[in-house]
Amino acid sequence: MYVMKCSLGEEFTQGKINRYGKIELSPSSGVLNYGQGLYEGLKAYRKTDGSILLFRPEENARRLQTGAERMCMPSPSVDQFVDAVKQAVQANRRWVPPPGKGSLYIRPLLIGSGPILGLAPSPEYTFMTYTSPVGNYFKEGSAPLNLVVAEEFHRATPGGTGGIKSITNYAPVLKPQTDAKSKGFSDVLYLDSVNKRYLEEVSSCNIFVVKGNTISTPATLGTILSGVTRKSIIEIARGYGYQVEERLVSVDELMDADEVFCTGTAVVVAQVGSVTYGGRRFEYGTGAATVSQRLHSTLTGIQTGLLEDKMGWTVEID
């Protein structure tokens, strides 16, 4: 794993590759006591010729910088971030699965590692990047997801940290997610906390609704994470001539949608077979002849090098 440190008020300079293993933290470290931490997620893919591709790592770097500013943390530069990711993948390249068998998940972490008993920014920060080979995120594999709308819980509030990848955003969704899975659902779809009627996102991925030639997705207005996969799918869809709208999407629009799908680094593009809301189950089109499948095929083709990357999104690792 790649590790780099710096003190508050300074800049990150030079990191190094260490063996993957336990890290030492003070019991009073900022991340343990106050949740001062961010993470990112991206993947490396093996091409048929054996070389390895990254997908838009500079987007993750910029998102980390945005989150770090909100959390009063120094952050690596874009070049430092991308270099750290490259070094981590290079050191673990034997773990990158063969084409079609998965990918190497990359987890950059930025944490307040220094001791701070009072509520204040940590005096020291650690940026690390580790990896793991992965397959499908959901146990359903490529089967359509069955979501349930959360009516009691909310993922984020205006003015909070829902729009950044703070570590504090994720533990609170475990309770509703566990409850949903115990009832046979794949995951939870959250509504806004003010009006309780506009779609926000699923526990760890963005949501899209398809009606005719129009693809709608909730606008990122501070409570929704601006996903790299989300951004890429929007650009691909517009390139195919679909009308893509980033706006407030009412939960009522689920009732007559043609398709619903999720996007994210982990899930890529996942078709939604049904959404249950207010005790009613709404079903959607799935399968090979869908908009989501067309977008999925194009995205994964670019990510794995099977399609020409006309967007300049991929980065090859030597």
For a pLDDT cut of 70, what percent of the chain falls above it? 98
| 50-72: pLDDT as tens digits | 999 999 999 999 999 999 999 99
| C-alpha span between 149 and 3 (Å, rounded) | 39
Inform me whether the pLDDT recorded for 138 exceeds 70. Answer: no
For a pLDDT cut of 90, what percent of the chain falls above it? 96
Inform me whether the pLDDT recorded for 223 exceeds 80. Answer: yes
What DSSP letter does each residue of 215-254 carry, written as one string?
EEEE--SSSS---HHHHHHHHHHHHTT-EEEEE--BGGGG
Q: Is 165 in the active site?
A: yes
Q: What is the pLDDT of residue 40?
A: 98
Inform me whether the pLDDT recorded for 137 exceeds 90. Answer: no
Q: What is the pLDDT of residue 318?
A: 78
* Phi-psi category of residue 240: left, alpha or beta, with phi > 0 → left and psi -120 to 50 → alpha: alpha
| 198-209: pLDDT as tens digits | 999 999 899 999
Inform me whether the pLDDT recorded for 142 exceeds 80. Answer: no
Inform me whether the pLDDT recorded for 238 exceeds 70. Answer: yes
| 114-130: pLDDT as tens digits | 999 999 999 999 999 99
| 243-297: pLDDT as tens digits | 999 999 999 999 999 999 999 998 999 999 999 999 999 999 999 999 999 999 9
| pLDDT band of 139, cuts 50, 70, 90 | low
Mean pLDDT of the chain: 96
Which residue of the set 22, 165, 196, 231 is catalytic?
A: 165
Inform me whether the pLDDT recorded for 141 exceeds 60. Answer: no
Q: Which of 280, 289, 214 is nearest to 247 (CA)?
A: 214
SS3 58: helix
